[in-house]
Structure formats: structure tokens, C-alpha cells
Amino acid sequence: MWGEATEIFDLALMPEQLMTVSEWADANRYLAREASSEPGRWRTSRTPYLKLPMDCLSSHTTYRKVIMMCGAQLGKTEAGNNWIGYIMDNSPAPTLMVMPTDTAIKKNSKTRIDPMIENTPSLKKKVKEKKSRSGENTIDQKNFLHGVLFMVGANSPVGLSSTPIRNVHLDEVDRYPLDVDGEGSPITLAEARTRTFPNRKILITSTPTTKESSAIWNEFKLTDQNHYEVPCPFCGAYQELLFENLVYEKNNPYSAKMKCVACGELIDERYKPQMLPSYRWIPACPENKSDKLIGFQISSLYSPLGWFSWGDIAAQYEESLEDPSRIKVFVNTVLGLPYEESGEAPDWQALFNKSRLENHNPNVVPWMVCFLTAGVDIQKDRIELEIVGWCADKQSYQIDYRVLLGNTTLPEVWDELAKVVDETFQREDGVEMTIQRMAVDTGYNTTEVHSFCRRFHNSRVIPIKGQDSLGLPVSPPRQIDYNKNGKKIGRLKQWNVGVSLLKSEFYSWLLLEQKPEGGYPPCYCHFLQQDQRYFEGITAEQYISKTRKWKKVYERNEPLDCRIYARAAANIVGLDRMKPEQLIRFGNVSGEAPNVKHTQQQPKSERKKRGGMDYGGIDYGKVEY
């Protein structure tokens, strides 16, 4: 007992050592087997590009903010953990770690922070034991000698705006909500907590999303924008590793080599261990150079040998060529760059022609559809909705577009919408299908929307709210049922939808054409017979780069909104999360077309009408997965 107290007393008297974060990590950090593919002692030499960003966070440097915009598979999360360990052991102070959600925080605490403490002897003796009942070592709080680590989700306004903090680590900021319960940006709220500390340190890391809405891109632009250069093993010329210089044989991405921009030699990936340590960081904007702020950008092309190879990168690129959504993911997570969305509306007249319109009765589901969603837009005198069928390769089929007339402050029209939730649709192979998820916009008559959604379980019907600046399709749901004392009183949760992102994606999908040899590419959109007004509606908005806002070019944009909400619902169901083979199993799709007779296009006067819209039928071509 006395010996333990004496050890703690001696530790308290020890002065802060002038060592860098990378030096501390190399001397003290051990990677746990359950949290790393390469367990054992940390070696900065394995990922030398992390050395300078980490060392800028050392307590004796003048830097106050470090920005890291990176691709995936580069170790940036462990770099942030090294800094947290350094603070606990060498520079104790109140510290805050913020991740996109409370769920992400809990997972990180259990799988990374706890193993780091347990496997690093110098930390284990300074952090309170978990068995203590004092609450000083919990999932979201770690007390250590002369300091404390708070860990919160970016969706928690209370956790972001309370105790003063000296150090803040903001991780994956492009997945943060734009606003937290009306109190502002979570980044701004977290940074505000450091104002009373002149020696504050802030680390902001993320893979970027779209150029128009990316938080990490906006932070990075303010810095000197450092890029990593390495020497050619043949001529010694320093250069940045760029995807456009990666060459490989046709249909053989794993033959990839990097072409030197100076001598033209093809560099094999086995030279990486020789090239990466002989680096230099070069600022692209030296006019922004500061002793308080510094920024770094690096792509997955620098991933250490044995991690994410150049062949893996080339293969991922080849797979993404036919799918605009995969191209965006490639640019963001591999190249570590923001994706520039195209917001130019397609010509409605190009869509409104016989080659694009397909002949099929509404409410009949094509055999290859895996699941159905619905997007619902609320107006004063009507409810408009679209039911969409989604295939394993993200092809989409319009199943129906409906207009339910009625005053939306009265219950009758909502009762009509409730019938749609319980409606069944027959797939061509005989399978009975229901709408997996209905997304209802809360932008108008919010109270009535919430009341309607409470009728159903949140696995069937959800309220949504569009956010132009959200850089992902949907953000995690937020509780909205509270009493006046702030206590949860219900289960209703609302999802925020990145409408700008999804509109740009939808417009890129509308530009896809049927393959010359027959069949359709992934993400192709199939429509029922519709009139001119419908196609004006789905192309009713255009993105204006100068103002970074969407502008109506046609007055009635409800068809566009309904499609975007149905797409958001598909994301929640798992369209972007599940692999094609998983979606096929999920939808119980047989993989071959049944022997179905399709109806021929009817004369316009005989077509079935719903809500004033005309419908015909579909003539299916070959569908490829």
C-alpha cells in the first residue's frame, strides 16, 4: 500500500519530458493483438508519413491545430491514439475525443483505447483501474494522473459544451451532423472548449466526402496543404505518388507499377520500404504557412507494403468504373481527396422519349428487385410518394408514383398513406413484397409527420430531414421524443438526409445509358410511362457552384424529392452496406427471370391513373449482376 502511494507521489513530481509523440510511441506503445493486424511494439518507421503530423502535436511545439485529410488503410487512427497515450503519460491535461456517434465512441473505447492502456505499461499504472466504483474508468471517461479523457459522440450537445478542455481530437469529421440540436457545428462547439488554454492542441482527421460539403476539406484549405514526396529508387527524383502515374496491364490490375515522372522507369511496389522513409513534406500553399496551423494530405498509395497494395487500388478503381457512387468512394477513401459533384440537371426531354420509358403495369415488381422503399413528400393539400424497387447492383425500378389528395392537417389523407405502408406488391416470380422502409419528409407539417410515424415501428416508417451540407447519404438517427425536463419519453428518432449529395448522385445515374450489347449498367434508373411534368419534376433543380446551393429550374420538384427520400431509405435498409450477393439473398432473388408475359403499352386513354399521373408498362431487357 505504502509502496504504491510512494510511486504515485513520485510520478506526480516528475516534470513533463521534452519528447515528441513519435518518440513516446516508439518507446512505450504496444499494439494489442485484438486491435491490430501487426501486434507488438509500435514502430513509426513502418508508417513514416505519420511522424511529422504526430510530432506537431508534441507539447513543446507551437502548433495549435493539426489537420490530416487521408485515404483509408494508413494508420491515422493509431496516430491519434498515440497522441492520447502521450498526453496521459507525458503531458497530462483535460482531453476530449469526438467521433461521429456515441456508438462509434463505445466501439473505439472497447477495441482501441482500453487495449492500448492495458498493453502499454507506462499507461496502465497511471489510469484508474476499471474495477473501481468511482466512475473514473468507464466507456466514455478515463481518469489518469493529473488529467482526464472524455469521449463523446458528435451527436451529443451536452458532451461537446461543458468542461474546459486543453486537447481535442476530432476524428472522421465529415461524418459529423451539421448541427447539434440547434446549438451549431459540433466542430465549433468542441473547439470552443479550448479557448481558456493558450497551449491548446487540436487534431482534426477524416477521409473527405464532397468538395461542396466536406468539413475536413474546408479545414485543410486554410493550411499550407503539405503533400508527401518520396524518391524514385532508380533516379532519386522526389515526387508525389499519384494515381494517374499508376500503370497496369489491361484486365490485370495486380500488375500495377508506379511510373517515375522523371526517368520514366516503372517502380515495383517492393521498393516501398526503401522509398517511404526517405520522404519530404512539401506545402502546396506556402503562403498559408504558419507556426500555429499545419495541414497534411496523403493517399492510400502510400500504404505500407503488405497492407493495401497498388494492385488492390487498381482493382477497386476498375470495379468502380461503371458505378458513379463507387467512383466517389474511390476518390474519398483511396485518393484521400474530396469528390466534386456534378449538379447539372439532365435534360428532361432526353429522358422523356420512347427509348427511355418502359412498358409495364404499375405496382408489379420486376423479378430481380431485392427490396422496396418509398419516399414521401408533404404539401398543404396533398401527399406525393414514390415506391422504388432496388436491385443488387443499385439499378432502380419505379414501381408507382402516387398523389394522395387531401388537407394534410386532417387525418383522412394520413389514413390513406397508412394503407400504403401495409400494401403488398407481387414480384414477377410470385413473391409477395412489402415496403421495407418508408421515409417521410418533415419539412412541412412536422407535427403531423411525427404523429404519423409514431403509428409504426421505426423499422418500417421514419421521419427524415434534408440537410444540404451533410456529406453522407444519411446520418445516424437522433431522438426527438423528450419531455420538458429533457427526459426521453418515446422511441421516435429522426434521420438527417444529405439531399445535395443524393441529388448529385441521382443526376449522374440519370445520364447512364443502356449497353450497346443489351442490358443495363449498375445504377441505371427504370421509369414507368410518365408525362412531361414528371420528368420536369425529377430534373427540377440545378446546383449552382458559385453559391453552393440548389436552385429550382422548374417549379414542381416533388418527384425529385420523393426519389431522393426513397434513395435515403434504401441506404438505411442496406443498399450501400451489403454486397450484391448479400442483397440477392436478402431479397430471395432466384437469379433467373421467370416466364412472364409483359403487357404491351396501352393507348394513353386506357392507361391506369393514380393521382392524375399516367402509367404504361415496361419491356425488360437483360439485367446483369
CATH of the domain at 393: 3.30.420
Residues 36 and 28: their CA atoms lie apart, in Å, by: 16
The answer to whether residue 325 is domain-embedded is no
pLDDT of residue 344: 60
Given a contact cutoff of 8 angstroms between Cβ atoms, the answer to whether 329 and 320 are in contact is yes
pLDDT of residue 484: 53
Question: Is there a single domain that holds both residue 358 and residue 298?
Answer: no
pLDDT of residue 560: 95
Long-range contacts at 481-488 (CB < 8 A, ≥ 24 apart): none
Residues 275 and 470: their CA atoms lie apart, in Å, by: 38
Question: Is there a single domain that holds both residue 463 and residue 572?
Answer: yes
Question: Is there a single domain that holds both residue 138 and residue 238?
Answer: yes
Distance between start and end Cα atoms, the chain: 67
CATH code where residue 269 lies: 3.40.50.300
Query: If residue 78 lies in a helix (H) or strand (E), which one and from where to where?
Result: helix 76-90
Q: Model pTM?
A: 0.68
Residues of the chain scoring pLDDT < 50: 1-14, 354, 598-625
Type of residue numbered 575: L
Question: Is there a single domain that holds both residue 270 and residue 376?
Answer: no
Question: Is there a single domain that holds both residue 314 and residue 400?
Answer: no
Cell of 548: 453552393
Count other Cβ atoms within 10 Å, centred on residue 474: 22
Query: If residue 384 lies in a helix (H) or strand (E), which one and from where to where?
Result: strand 382-391
Question: Is there a single domain that holds both residue 292 and residue 438?
Answer: no
pLDDT digits (tens, 9 = 90+) for 471-526: 778 988 888 876 555 566 677 899 999 898 899 889 888 888 887 777 888 999 99
Residues 323 and 326: their CA atoms lie apart, in Å, by: 5
Type of residue numbered 192: A
Question: Is there a single domain that holds both residue 128 and residue 77?
Answer: yes
The answer to whether residue 138 is domain-embedded is yes
Q: Is the dihedral of CA 315, 320, 325, 327 positive or negative?
A: positive
pLDDT of residue 615: 25
Residues 6 or more apart whose CB falls under 8 angstroms from that of 606 comprise none
Cell of 134: 468511482
Residues 251 and 65: their CA atoms lie apart, in Å, by: 44
Residues 430 and 323: their CA atoms lie apart, in Å, by: 30
Given a contact cutoff of 8 angstroms between Cβ atoms, the answer to whether 93 and 54 are in contact is no
Q: What is each CA distance from 173 to 70, 153, 240, 279, in whole angstroms?
A: 12, 11, 25, 27
Question: Is there a single domain that holds both residue 309 and residue 356?
Answer: no
Q: Which domain holds residue 188?
A: 2-319
Given a contact cutoff of 8 angstroms between Cβ atoms, the answer to whether 331 and 501 are in contact is no
Residues 586 and 392: their CA atoms lie apart, in Å, by: 10
Question: Is there a single domain that holds both residue 241 and residue 356?
Answer: no
Question: Is there a single domain that holds both residue 415 and residue 547?
Answer: yes
The answer to whether residue 565 is domain-embedded is yes
Type of residue numbered 62: T
pLDDT digits (tens, 9 = 90+) for 231-270: 999 999 999 999 999 999 988 999 999 999 999 999 999 9
The answer to whether residue 622 is domain-embedded is no
Residues 618 and 320: their CA atoms lie apart, in Å, by: 28
Question: What is the number of domains present in the chain?
Answer: 2
The answer to whether residue 288 is domain-embedded is yes
pLDDT of residue 396: 95
The answer to whether residue 327 is domain-embedded is no
Question: Is there a single domain that holds both residue 285 and residue 388?
Answer: no
Question: Is there a single domain that holds both residue 354 and residue 312?
Answer: no
Residues 73 and 50: their CA atoms lie apart, in Å, by: 12
Give the helix, strand, coil percentages of the chain, each rounded to 5: 30, 25, 45
Q: For every residue of 239-302, which 3-state class applies, written as one string?
A: EECCHHHEEEECCEEEEEEEECCCCCCEECHHHHHHHCCCCEEEECCHHHCCCCEEEEEECHHH
